[in-house]
């Protein structure tokens, strides 16, 4: 099964090019669609309003994609893109053939945790708006979730993100905040398709969240990759491409895997 359509959604501050190396390792017959998310690159971001802004943001992603999509396609996403992919898969389950989530948060449990996250994201949104840009990127990539980055890889991420518009990124961060996100596990648990969650073993937070995903979604394969941090597809694109392809081909182990392939 090498001929199918695969939609790839990047993370916050990312671009469609983030998937270029992964796409290069997929079979030639795979048709890949990797859009810039709203507010990223040259993709516009319409106002989402105060009512369910996360869902409104996801609907903008869907509206931008729908005309390009066949009846059935596979879906993969990283971090914020993974959260969007999970939501879209649940909303359009009759069209999704496989789902791969990389370092994606399933949602916060309590109103207090959601408010804390909203406050945290608002602080970062203001830093993005007020600058100095792009120096604020250095602080962004020194957050604990990026602790595995060495100086060279951090500088590379900063150089890649610097051309972005920080005002648009701030708006995207507010709309797509984890604090606005509904719980995603029930929707993904209800999908009768191949599903895989990828995390780097050095990314302890999302490795633990992967356990939560797998416990809530029977049949979801959990793959923890040795020696990698939060951004597995940037650090090991060939490995991530292989996992995505085997998931899309229904070649999961089905039972939970704790080892990198």
The more confidently predicted of residues 250 and 161 is 161
Residue 202 gets which letter from DSSP? T
Q: What is the percent of the chain where pLDDT is above 90?
A: 89
Per-residue pLDDT at 33 exceeds 50: yes
Distances (CA, A) of 136 to 45, 125, 126, 161, 172: 22, 11, 11, 11, 16
Is residue 42 helix, strand or coil?
Answer: coil
> Averaged over 132-153, what is the pLDDT?
92
| Banded model confidence at residue 3, pLDDT cuts 50, 70, 90 | confident
The answer to whether 138 and 190 have CB atoms below 8 angstroms apart is no
What is the residue-wise DSSP string for 54-115? HHHHHHHHHHHHGGG--SSEEEEEETHHHHHHHHHHHHTGGGEEEEEEES-----SSHHHHH
Is residue 5 helix, strand or coil?
Answer: strand
Per-residue pLDDT at 235 exceeds 50: yes
Name 227's Cβ contacts closer than 8 Å, sequence gap at least 6.
Answer: 200, 201, 202
| Banded model confidence at residue 256, pLDDT cuts 50, 70, 90 | very low
Count the neighbouring beta carbons within 10 Å of the beta carbon of residue 65. Answer: 16
Q: Point out which residues pair with 224 in neighbouring strands.
A: 199
Q: What is the pTM of this model?
A: 0.94
pLDDT computed for residue 78 by the predictor: 98
Residue 196 gets which letter from DSSP? E
Q: How far is Cα 147 from Cα 141, in angstroms, rounded to an integer? A: 8
Residue 226 gets which letter from DSSP? T
Q: What is the percent of the chain where pLDDT is above 70?
A: 95
Q: Point out which residues pair with 26 in neighbouring strands.
A: none
> Averaged over 239-243, what is the pLDDT?
96
The pLDDT mean for the chain works out to: 93
pLDDT computed for residue 86 by the predictor: 98
**pLDDT (tens digit per residue) in 167-193:** 999 999 999 999 999 999 999 999 999
Per-residue pLDDT at 261 exceeds 50: no
Indicate the range of 44-48, 73-77, 93-97 predicted with least confidence.
44-48
Is residue 20 helix, strand or coil?
Answer: helix
Tokens 């995207």 belong to which residue? 172
Is residue 187 helix, strand or coil?
Answer: helix
Name 10's Cβ contacts closer than 8 Å, sequence gap at least 6.
Answer: 16, 18, 19, 34, 36, 37, 40, 77, 78, 81
Q: Bin 254: left if φ > 0, else alpha if -120 < ψ < 50, else beta.
A: left
Residue 39 gets which letter from DSSP? T
> Averaged over 110-132, what is the pLDDT?
96
> Averaged over 189-199, what is the pLDDT?
96
- Lookup: tokens for 163: 């051309």
């Amino acid at each position: 099964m090498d001929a199918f359509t695969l939609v790839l959604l990047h993370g916050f501050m990312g671009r469609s090019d983030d998937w270029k190396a992964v796409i290069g390792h997929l079979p030639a017959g795979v048709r890949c669609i990797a859009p810039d998310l709203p507010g990223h690159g040259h993709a516009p971001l319409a106002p989402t309003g105060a009512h369910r802004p996360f869902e409104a943001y996801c609907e903008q992603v869907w509206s931008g994609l729908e005309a390009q999509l066949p009846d059935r396609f596979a879906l993969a996403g990283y971090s914020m893109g993974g959260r969007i992919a999970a939501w879209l898969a649940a909303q359009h389950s009759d069209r999704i053939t496989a789902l791969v989530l990389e370092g994606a948060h399933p949602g916060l449990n309590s109103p207090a945790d959601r408010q804390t996250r909203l406050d945290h994201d608002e602080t970062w949104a203001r830093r993005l708006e007020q600058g100095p840009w792009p120096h604020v990127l250095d602080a962004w990539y020194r957050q604990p979730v990026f602790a595995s980055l060495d100086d060279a890889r951090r500088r590379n991420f900063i150089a890649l993100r610097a051309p972005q518009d920080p005002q648009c990124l701030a708006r995207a961060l507010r709309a797509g905040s984890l604090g606005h996100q509904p719980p995603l596990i029930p929707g993904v648990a209800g999908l009768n398709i191949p599903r895989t969650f990828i995390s780097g073993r050095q990314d302890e937070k999302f490795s633990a969240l992967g356990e939560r995903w797998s416990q809530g979604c029977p049949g979801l394969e959990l793959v923890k990759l040795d020696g990698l941090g939060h951004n597995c597809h940037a650090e090991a694109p060939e490995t991530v491409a292989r996992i995505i392809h085997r998931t899309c081909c229904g070649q999961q182990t089905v039972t939970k895997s704790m080892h990198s392939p």
